[in-house]
Structures are given as C-alpha cells and as structure tokens.
Amino acid sequence: MTTYGSFPGTRPRRLRTNPVMRRMVAETRLHPADLILPAFVREGVSEPVPIAAMPGVVQHTRDSLKKAAAEAVAAGISGIMLFGVPEESKKDALGTPGTDPDGILQVALRDVRAEVGDDLLVMSDLCLDETTDHGHCGVLDEQGRVDNDATLERYAEMAQVQADAGAHVVGPSGMMDGQVGVVRDALDQIGREDVAILAYTVKYASAFYGPFREAVGSSLQGDRKTYQQDPANIRESLRELALDLEEGADMVMVKPAGPYLDILARVSDAVDVPVAAYQISGEYSMIEAAAEKGWIDRDRAILEALTGIRRAGARSILTYWATEVAQKLKDQ
C-alpha cells in the first residue's frame, strides 16, 4: 500500500527548478530605466584619462563624454550624472569654476544636452569639492571650518548656472544644512521650476569614497566628518530626510548604497517620493579588483549587488556599470 503525506509536504524548491520558473517568480527585477550613469569630464585633455583605482572608468574629454551619453541613450538607461574636473590652476578657495558659465561642468552640460536632448535625463553634481583648491564641499571660514551659510550662497549660484546650461536635474551633494531649500528658491527665482532636485539626503562619511577622489582630482586634506553623516547613525538620516522633503526635494538619495542597505530600506518605507541610491567608487572597485584576481565571477557579482540595492528599495541606482548592465539586460 502506498503511503502519502510524507514529510516535507511543503517544498519551496519547486519554485527554483529551472531558469524559467525562477524568472517567473522573481520578486525583484532590474531594468535599464532603473540605472543612472555617473560620468567625469576633465578640462584640457585630448584623450580620455583612465582612472587607475576604477578599472574601466575614465575622465572623459568633451567628445568622449558625448559618445558615452549617446551610448547611454541606446542602452535605455534613464540618466547621466555629470562631474566636472577643472584644470588645477583654475581651482580657488571659492570654487569659481563651479559658477563660471564657461566652467567645465557647465560646458559639458551644454554639450550633452545638445547631443541627447530630452532622450536622457542630464543631471549635474552640485558641489564645490571638485572646484576648490582645499577640496572641501564648501567655503572655509577664517579658522578653516566649512561655513555652512556662506556655502549656501555659492550653491544657489551654482544651481542657476547649471540650470541655464541645460541640467534637467541638480544633485546638491555637499550636506550643508538647508541646501535643498536654498537651491529650490534659487531655481524658482529664475523661472526654472521645471528643474528637479535629487537630494543627497543620506550621505555618510565613508571610506568607500577613496577611488572617487582620484576620479575628480580632489585636493582634499583632512576629512568631511563635520558635514557628512556618521556611519553609526540611523535616526540622524531620518531627520535629514524629513528636512529635505520639507525643503522641496523631488527625489532623495542614499550614498553609499551597499554598506547602507538597511538605511535605504528605512528611507524607502518612509517616503512617497522616488528613492535613489549611489553605488559608489569603492563598491565598484572592490568587485573589479576581486574579479581581476579571479576570486569572484564579475558579471554575477555586479548583478547581485545591483539587485540587492533595488530590493532594498532604490527606484534608481547610480552605478558606473549602468550602460554595460543595461545592454546586457536588453539582450536577455
């Protein structure tokens, strides 16, 4: 006689039996439209300059940046976030290239808008660290401290010149108190209510920024712990979130992404605006370095890391693999 009801009666493995089954029941999916490409453009170079700490990433020329933007459109990603790297001799205490209409970032914004129009969201980093000779994200006072309110005045001017240059979205990233409200007011004053703000709401003072410093030619001495957030804190992040929303942020972001998935999930659960996360340079470089050593499967690791960020609640992900991954997703 056959005996039925043998243990176990519930077998979750039935939903993992083959690739089609696993694809059908997948709870989280990556799509090219989820991705945004951070890109660096360097003044005064005739060829793209490889970034040693970020294999496969370069400081673009104006021409190679336009090509990268066109490739991003073809791949179906949603945006490109531009970082300008001025000539060293042009940096000063106030970050003048950041508000010069002919500064490299503003020139690059015009280039990319002319290349892609509205087929790609053209985003601009709104911060002074790339343009100051001291490398901090703001103006320094007589004691060498970052002056919050003096910096806000610079951010307001930056927002206006970036909007005039063609930015669809500005990303105030300096972690100054009140930055979102000041940027919103500055944009509205020149009739640019259409320009959106992607607020760097949760930005931790992270060791994972290391390779980025090379990417933007940072002149920083010291650290940014007096304005970027303490990695130990959660409630502080939620307080920053409430303030940015009150000041008019259209979208909010968590940076870094991978080490702070718990924060990303908390932010995503708390808001009804789009949430982004930035998979930063150190996250990129760790995977590339381990893959180069043959220690991990590069392609699987990239997709796993991005899926984890998406699963934690990010609607959009800034990643240096954006175009590559989007092309592979389209081919699946």
Of these residues, 255, 293, 328, 330, which one is catalytic?
255
Tokens of 29: 């999916």
Burial class (CB in 10 A: 0-12, 13-18, 19+), 213: middle
Positive or negative CA dihedral for 293, 36, 169, 117? positive
Catalytic site residue 330?
Answer: no
Tokens of 281: 């340079």
44's CB contacts (< 8 A; 6+ apart) are 87
Phi, psi of 185 (to 5 degrees): -65, -40
Going by the DSSP 8-state scheme, the letter that residue 132 receives in this structure is: B
Catalytic site residue 90?
Answer: no
Contact 120, 206 (CB under 8 A): no
Contact 207, 259 (CB under 8 A): no
Of these residues, 67, 90, 91, 203, which one is catalytic?
203
Helical ranges in the chain per DSSP H: 19-25, 62-75, 104-116, 148-165, 179-189, 210-215, 235-247, 261-270, 281-292, 298-312, 322-331
**49: β partners:** 59
Residues annotated catalytic, as ranges = 203, 255
